[in-house]
Amino acid sequence: MAEKKRKIFSVKIAPQECKGCSRCVNACPKSVLKIQENINQMGYFFATYTGDGCVGCGACFYNCPEPGAVTIYEKSEE
Amino acid sequence: MTEKIKLQRPKGFFSKFDRRPGPVKTNMHYCPGCGHGIMHKLIAEALADFDMQQNTIFIAPVGCAVFTYYYFDCGGISVPHGRAPAVATGIVRATPDAHVISYQGDGDLAAIGLNNFLQAANRGENMVVFFVNNAIYGMTGGQMAPTTLPGQKTVTCPNGRSTVNEGYPLKVSEMVAALDSPVYVERVALSTTKNIMQARRAVRKALQNVINKKGFSMVEALSGCPVNLNFNAQEMNEFIDNQMMSYFPLGCLKDIADNRDPIKRPVSIYAKNKVKAVLFPQAVDGGVDAEFENPSELFKKERRIKCAGFGGQGILSLGMMIASMAKLRNFNVSWLPSYGPEKRGGTANCSVVLSRSEVGSPLIDSDCNLLIAMNQPSIDKYLPELKDKGVLLYDSSTASAPENIGNRIVYSVAASNIAEKMGSIKCANSVMLGALAVILRDYFLEKDDPQDFDRVFEEAILDCFSHKKNTIRLNFNAYYAGKKAALEILQSSTVKG
């Protein structure tokens, strides 16, 4: 019981909401975000999560000028 | 394993931007990397966290952020350029429980709206101003703003802002912090994560001050306009951190909210009859019921009356008495004095318009029905404006009968002489009113209730001099003397005729 729960974070960037300004990519302390090589419906090279290493700091969320492009999830092991 | 969302789209935004035209309903209209989006997010998050959306009115500026009502799930109002603090003042005075947020850019706040903003700050209105400073006019294509940095190149200063020509950037936060009323002034930057998190704290503190009714709070956010300045995200942050911050240092310039008591305002009154009672507390004796309308055909037309004479003769009061008289008989009235140096000596005049429907222009420069002149220059000047078959009433002790009167009807009474005999030349205007009461009988009243007509003049004197009680008797006497004199003149002329 007293054992500390390990938390796993992940970030999801909605491809259709991203305008590819790359503020999140620059802000990420762990450099786990990158700009995609293909474009979204609006014609922007959008950002994605590389899939590993998010620490849930929220830097990308607060740097992102779009309201709902970035969502940060938190998983905790039972 | 349980998964939960740690950070997501703030609840202060609409879940879908249905007000936004076009197919895209989830994104904002801002350019990629725009500082507005970051600021919006911080505010929307705080609005939801403080559970204040129901009571919040968000005032949209003119500029890129003009469409805030697309996005924020709270009350919203769009106002002309720079007028947000003035409108906010109205809202917050009428509804003291409203949380008013004014969101303004540097062109809006620091250029055209600087006076509105400074006056609202100085009054200490209970509101928060979010001032987004990006050093240029963003929406119109990057022109020089009051906050453009020295040497910075913009569309309208292609060689860089010259401090000799255009002066130095306006330090708005420093100016506001120097005033006594504002409780909280902080400058933040929307550049690096650290600065953004400081901005988040500042936004929350400012909104908390509004909720606690502490008074005027302002947060200035140095923001990026990467598209107009032609920077990428990294360069934009560097520009803010290195160049803007060296001129606009970050930090809290003032925070005295803890030492201030909450602002208390009287409870607002909205009921129509109560508002009327507050605006017109003086009850006038007599009067007719609110539905009264004189049935005479003549009263259906607009009456345009001009009073003119020397300053000090009571010209404006005379006009006011005529206007009060009409007001008491449920006319729509306008009373427009001519303001100017002539008010103290020299010539004075006022225009009174009486109408059953709405008064169009309160200004009279032609088609005058009735001209009341109390000196010679007024007759000379305004007689051409008098309509054919219009009435001229002049003071025969100070002016003489005009020539070329055409079909106009002319009456005169020696008002100043009579008033002087009564004890004060100041009441010559009431003598004129008395004469008016006699001559208007035929011209204006036709064959309606003459008692009511007399009574309305007396009520007008009571109404006008209600704040100078000791002069009422004198004015009444003067009024009756004027009536008597006019009657004598009329009778003698009919005898002669």
Report ipTM (2 d.p.). Answer: 0.93
Of B19 and B439, the structure prediction assigns the larger pLDDT to: B19
Q: What is the count of residue pairs from A and B with beta carbons less than 8 Å apart?
A: 103
Q: What is the pLDDT of residue B497?
A: 39
How far does Cα B456 stand from its chain's mean position?
32
Token reading at B15 = 């879940």
What is the phi/psi pair of residue B411, to 5°? -125, 155
Looking at the predicted structure, is the pLDDT value of residue B404 above 80? Answer: no
Q: Which of B119-128, B205-214, B246-255, B292-301 has the lowest mean pLDDT?
A: B292-301
User: CATH 3.40.50.970 occupies which residues in chain B?
Assistant: 35-259
Instruction: Give the residue range(s) of CATH 3.40.920.10 domains in chain B.
Output: 278-496
pLDDT for B9 beyond 90: yes
CA A33 centroid distance within chain: 6
A38-47, A68-77, B369-378, B455-464 — which is least confidently predicted? B455-464
pLDDT, mean of residues A4-24: 89
Q: Is residue A35 within a helix (H) or strand (E), and if so which, with residue range?
A: strand A33-39
Position B85 scores a pLDDT of: 95
Return the pLDDT at B23. Answer: 82
CA distance A52 to A9: 9
Q: Which residue has the higher pLDDT, B423 or B143?
A: B143
Q: Does domain A7-76 have CATH number 3.40.50.720?
A: no
Name every chain A residue with its beta carbon within 8 A of the beta carbon of B232.
Answer: 22
In this predicted structure, what is the pLDDT of residue B445? 47
Average pLDDT on B270-280 reads 82
Q: What per-residue confidence (pLDDT) applies to B249? A: 95
Does CATH number 3.50.50.60 belong to domain B35-259?
A: no
pLDDT of A40 strictly over 90? no
A62·B196 Cβ contact <8 A: yes
**Contact call for B7 and A63, based on CB within 8 A:** no
Q: How far is the alpha carbon of A38 from chain B, nearest alpha carbon, in Å?
A: 17
Q: Are B359 and B332 in contact (CB under 8 A)?
A: yes
Q: What pLDDT, on a 0 to 100 scale, did the predictor assign at position B15?
A: 92
Q: Is B364's pLDDT higher than 80?
A: yes
Distance CA B79, CA B286 (A): 45
* Chain B residues with beta carbon closer than 8 angstroms to that of A67: 9-10, 13, 26-28, 37, 40-41, 44, 71
Supply B312's token pair: 């000090």
Q: Please list the helix, strand and coil fractions of chain A in percent, rounded to the nearest 5, in that order.
A: 15, 35, 55
- Is pLDDT at B443 greater than 70 in this prediction? no
Res. A2 pLDDT band, cuts 50 70 90: low
Residue B444 has pLDDT above 70, yes or no: no
| Chain B CB contacts of A70 below 8 Å | 7
Backbone angles phi, psi at B77, to 5 degrees: -150, 135
Contacts of B33 in chain A (CB under 8 A): 19, 21-23, 65
Look at A67 and B193 and tell me if their CB atoms are within 8 Å: no
The confidence score (pLDDT) of residue B345 equals: 57
Judged by CB atoms closer than 8 Å, whether chains meet at A56 and B6 is answered as: yes
Q: Do A72 and B6 touch (CB under 8 A)?
A: yes
Q: Do B7 and A66 touch (CB under 8 A)?
A: no
Contact B146, B163 (CB under 8 A): no
The CATH fold assigned to B278-496 is Pyruvate-ferredoxin Oxidoreductase; domain 3 (3.40.920)
Mean pLDDT across chain B, nearest whole number? 87
β-pairing, B75-78 vs B56-60, is parallel
pLDDT grade for B491, boundaries at 50, 70 and 90: confident
Quick one: pLDDT at residue B293?
A: 62
Inter-chain touch B26–A63, beta carbons under 8 Å:
no
Q: Which residues of A touch B25 (CB under 8 A)?
A: none
- The residue of A26, A44, A62, A76 whose CB has the most chain B CBs within 10 angstroms, and thus the best one to mutate to test that interface, is A62
* A57: chain B residues, CB-CB within 8 Å: 193
Q: Is the pLDDT of residue B308 over 50?
A: yes
Closest by CA to B14, choosing from B84, B66, B67, is B67
Task: Check pLDDT > 70 for residue B267.
Answer: yes
Which positions in chain A have a beta carbon within 8 angstroms of at least one beta carbon in chain B?
9, 14, 16-17, 19-23, 25-27, 42, 44, 56-59, 61-68, 70-78
- Choice between A1 and B453, residue whose per-residue pLDDT is larger: B453
pLDDT at B252: 96
What is the DSSP code (8-state) at residue A4?
P
B77 Cβ contact list (under 8 Å, min separation 6):
B57, B58, B59, B60, B69, B87, B91
B194 CB near a chain A CB, below 8 Å?
Answer: no
In chain B, the percentage of residues whose pLDDT exceeds 90 is 49
Residue B459: band (very low, low, confident or very high) from pLDDT cuts 50, 70, 90: confident
Q: Indicate the pLDDT class of residue B285, thresholds 50, 70 and 90.
A: very low
**pLDDT band for position A3 (50/70/90)?**
low
The Cα B215–Cα B260 span in angstroms is: 8
- Distance from the Cα of A44 to chain B's closest Cα (Å) equals 9
CB contact under 8 A, A58 and B42: no
Distance from CA of A71 to the nearest CA of B (A): 5
What mean pLDDT is predicted for residues A13-37?
Answer: 93
Region B29-52: what's the mean pLDDT? 94
Decide if B32 and A65 are in contact by the 8 Å CB cutoff.
yes
Judge whether residue B495 has pLDDT over 90.
Answer: no
B193·A16 Cβ contact <8 A: no
What's the rounded mean pLDDT across residues B293-301? 62
For chain A, the straight-line distance linking the first and the last C-alpha, in angstroms and rounded, comes to: 10
Question: Which H helix or E strand runs over A27?
Answer: helix A23-27
| Alpha-carbon gap, residue B220 to B106, rounded angstroms | 10
Domain ranges for chain A, please list them. 7-76
Residues counted in chain B: 497
Residue B337 CB contacts under 8 Å (≥ 6 apart), including other chains: B316, B319, B343, B348, B349, B350
Weakest-pLDDT range from A20-24, B89-93, B399-403, B406-410: B399-403
Residue B21: its pLDDT value, please? 86
Judged against a pLDDT cut of 70, whether residue B14 lies above it is answered with yes
